[in-house]
Amino acid sequence: MATPHINAEQGDFAGAVLMPGDPKRAARMAEVILDTPTQVNDVRGMLGFTGTYCGEGPHYGKPLSIMGSGMGSPSIAIYATELFRFYGVDRIIRVGTAGGISPLVDVGSVIIGVGAHTTSSMNELRIPGTHFSASADLAMAAAAFQAGKDIGVFAGSIITSDHFYFTIHGQLDAMIAHGVLAVEMECASLYGVAAEYGKRALGVLTVSDHLTKHGHDMSAEQRETSFQEATRLAVAAAFC
């Protein structure tokens, strides 16, 4: 059964979906970590693939899907809703990039987004009269953290922003003071959708640039190819 944004059939998606923003990145990831991946979606160029995990370890041979989400909170909310609601998906792990905020992280650091502050209005109306707490699934976060101990993975709060270029005076300093690790554009929305449907979600993010440490930002090509460690952690979370 197709949905407005996904033309897959029932059963085409595995229970766990890794979700980068860029559909080309989804295709590249599928080539690297899935055995005989099958393309299951191409609506609006948002590519989705399903196969079995071909990496080393106890998860070899287990079904896994990978699909792009597009950029921003509204886009990932659409795909997460349709995957959770209509395709039987239970877990979505965002595997994406983030801009470093904390002085503790560097370009190339991997961050597990345990909680997501946000400047977006996507979650404002979920619980009337309440500021919704956008939180990741604890078990998946713990599994990713355990898998990333060898690389010194970071875990903590991030912020999901609707803006890429627009900034608010004083906001960066306040985020640093409150221990925010990085900024990205999707996790809070994904966590909200997961809560709505009683599903599980996590963000595993690679720092591709830094808001205060300048001069070592990743190129577009590097952003597309530098996901090995984050993907490994995301797989550990997907099968916990």
So which residues are the catalytic ones?
209
Q: Around Cβ 167, how many Cβ atoms within 10 Å?
A: 11
For residue 171, the SS3 value is helix
- What residues have CB less than 8 Å from 156, skipping those under 6 apart? 111, 112, 113, 114, 115, 179, 180, 181
Is residue 234 within 8 A of residue 228, CB to CB? The reply is no
| b/e code 34-71 from CB counts within 10 Å (16+ = b) | beebeebbeeeebbbbbbbbeeeeebeeeebbbbbbbe
